[in-house]
Amino acid sequence: MTRLTAHINLRLIGRAILWAALLTGVFMTVFPFFWSLLMATHDRTTMFSSGLNLSLGDQLIANYARLLDTMDFWVGMLNSFSVSIIGTIASLLFCSMCGYALAVYQFRGRNVLFGMMICSMMLPPILTLIPYYMVIDAIGLTNTHLAVWLPFSINPFGIFLIRQYVVASVPRDLLEAAKLDGASAFRTYWSVVLPLLRPGLATLAIVQFVFLWNNFLQPLVVLTSSEKMVITQMLRSVQGIPNTPWGALMLGTFISILPLVGIYMAASRQMISGLTSGAVKN
């Protein structure tokens, strides 16, 4: 009997340690976001008072005004939205076309293209940054959003993903039937295959949207005028100015992560499996 209670006690202690460890992790993860929101309600005077201050300030509205003074915040947000949405749609189209062709057709050069895709995934992004800039400059795309999303619209990961989806979920018989009914190749792709690929396309859309929204390096290099800049760039660029209005900047940072966090809250399961699908499905 006593051995049994000792056993139960031990189990309880184990459970307690387990939960303590797990909840500490949650606290560490969420705290910076919470803190940035808190700072968004303070101005420089209350922020710089030393001593732990976890109370809400009353500067939220003033900080919002300051934020709009320091940068064209909503222009940046709109630019980020435009780059991410258009870029995602383009990549859905291009990746599904290529993935479909790789899955269904036998053609000369297929293996070469396949090999190139694998190699291109290994290239460090910074390696091609200089020629990327040159190409953009040469074809007159500096300061356009097209320059930021176009190179990523043929994401090799996305092409692989779609290829796997076609192999797994598009029956060959269906393609044969469509052909017998006289549907053209493009028609078959568009009205027979694409609807079947919906889950794969959703995964790709998530990966691509998150990447484009958070991307910094390429916009930094090609978007130079302030009316074209995306939000990550704008936030970074005011970091160096003297007397940086940190409260306002934290407010801007917090708002800039809200769209993704919002989508994440609504569809966390799909987002987690989508963003790790490259890693765990190998």
Residues 29-58 that bind another protein (CB under 8 A): 29-30, 32-33, 35-36, 39, 47-48, 50-53
> Quick one: tokens of 68?
């709009």
Among 100, 163, 204, 223, binds another protein (CB under 8 A): 100
The reply on whether position 191 binds another protein by CB under 8 A is no
Considering the complex, state which of residue 30 and residue 174 has its C-beta at the smaller distance from another protein: 30
Per CB under 8 A, which of residues 124..163 are in contact with another protein?
A: 124-135, 137, 150-151, 153-154, 159
CB of 253 to another protein, least distance (A): 5
The reply on whether position 240 binds another protein by CB under 8 A is yes
CB of 182 to another protein, least distance (A): 13
The residue written with tokens 């390696």 in the block is 127
CB of 65 to another protein, least distance (A): 20
| DSSP one-letter code for 153 | T
CA distance 186 to 15: 58
Q: Give the three-class secondary structure for 271.
A: helix
Sign of CA dihedral 181, 187, 188, 192: negative
How far does CA 73 lie from the centroid of its chain? 20
Considering the complex, state which of residue 131 and residue 199 has its C-beta at the smaller distance from another protein: 131
Considering the complex, state which of residue 61 and residue 280 has its C-beta at the smaller distance from another protein: 280
The reply on whether position 116 binds another protein by CB under 8 A is yes
**Residue-wise burial string across 171-181, b where 16 or more C-beta atoms lie within 10 A, e elsewhere:** eeeebeebeee
The reply on whether position 115 binds another protein by CB under 8 A is no
Among 1, 3, 105, 195, binds another protein (CB under 8 A): 105
**CB under 8 A: which stretch of 57-65, 71-79, 96-104, 161-169 binds another protein?**
96-104
Per CB under 8 A, which of residues 68..87 are in contact with another protein?
A: none
CB of 48 to another protein, least distance (A): 5
Per CB under 8 A, which of residues 164..183 are in contact with another protein?
A: none
The reply on whether position 236 binds another protein by CB under 8 A is yes
CA distance 109 to 102: 11
CB of 281 to another protein, least distance (A): 9
Backbone angles phi, psi at 281, to 5 degrees: -95, 25
Per CB under 8 A, which of residues 8..27 are in contact with another protein?
A: 14, 18, 21-22, 25-26
Per-residue CA distances from 29 to 24, 40, 132, 263 (Å): 9, 19, 35, 18
DSSP 61-79: HHHHHHHHHHS-HHHHHHH
Neighbour tally for 85: CB within 10 Å:
15
Considering the complex, state which of residue 205 and residue 210 has its C-beta at the smaller distance from another protein: 210
CA distance 67 to 213: 20
> Quick one: tokens of 81?
């939205």
